[in-house]
Amino acid sequence: MSRLGDLIRLERTRQGLTHKQVAKKCGVSDKYLMEVEAGTRIIADDQARRILKTMGMTEHTEADFTLDDIAATVDLQSAVPRIQQAAEKKKAEAEKKPAPVAETDPGVSGSIWLDALSGVLKHVPVYNAVMKEVGHRLLPITNGKIEGASPDKVFYFMAPDNALRGFRVQRGDLLLVVPAQAAVDGAIMLLQTPQGRVLRKVKRVNDYQAMLQKYDEAFESEIKNFNELTFVGRCVRLEAELT
């Protein structure tokens, strides 16, 4: 079932509209709209888009979130309280000020909707071996964090080779990296070396040494003192394409 029904509910809530008002504006029955929002009736994507556009929601937001991005990624139900609180705050502020002559942008840009989404979605950059951004992934933010780290500190690193193929990481796979400046035993970690950034599986040997492992066609390892190593982060998630 399409989650665009949840988007309709959030946009309607943002604008403070009733089911009847939206239904009349969009040429559908209020019962139909209520069932779509409740998830008891399936709505075609093109019809959901038409309803959203009729309410004034643009196809792309200022932060470059598309409707498909939002529907596929966000736990929309978690955004409802935030939307409702923001709408109530805006209404209270509007009652204290003279009404504006006209609204120049009835869409998403700069709206309560965008403010709410910025708290639940994050464009996480994808970097290659030379730390050039080659794309991004949308990830949900939970309690202000992504995998327990600040959303601005996490990123994806594209595996540059098959050095960890024996650990199920192949060239081109994406690994989500969270900050870590110390060795984490048993973790795959991103390290800064004179030759560039590399991925290695790390095993702590003792309080001052770690074993760096790689496994392509054969298992290899080397022991290094901690003072020789610069840890960038710990890999917590792997995204690989099935072949």
Predicted confidence at residue 147, as pLDDT, reads: 92
Comparing CA positions, the residue from 172, 85, 180 lying closest to residue 135 is 172
Strand segments (E) across 106-179: 121-127, 133-140, 155-158, 174-179
Q: How far apart are CA 6 and CA 154, in angstroms?
A: 28
**Which of 11-20, 82-91, 166-175, 181-190 is predicted least confidently?**
82-91
pLDDT-based confidence at 174, cuts 50/70/90?
Answer: very high
Residues of the chain with CATH 2.10.109.10: 123-239
- Strand duo 121-127 + 155-158: pairing: parallel
What is the Cα 128 distance to its own chain's centre? 19
Mutual angle of helices 4-15 and 45-54, in 10-degree steps: 10
Q: In CATH, what class is 123-239?
A: mainly beta
Predicted confidence at residue 126, as pLDDT, reads: 95
Mean per-residue pLDDT for 175-199?
95
Predicted confidence at residue 241, as pLDDT, reads: 75
Q: How far apart are CA 81 and CA 116, in angstroms?
A: 10
State the DSSP string of 32-44: HHHHHHHTSS---
Per the structure block, which two tokens stand in for 75?
């736990």
Residues of the chain with CATH 1.10.260.40: 4-99+107-118
Residue 180, pLDDT > 90, answer yes
**Which of 25-34, 113-122, 220-229 is predicted least confidently?**
113-122
The overall average pLDDT reported for the chain is: 80
Predicted confidence at residue 106, as pLDDT, reads: 40
Residue 222 has a CB neighbour count (10 Å cut-off) of 10
Superfamily of domain 4-99+107-118: lambda repressor-like DNA-binding domains (1.10.260.40)
pLDDT in tens, 32-82: 999 888 888 888 877 888 888 888 776 544 445 555 555 555 455 555 555
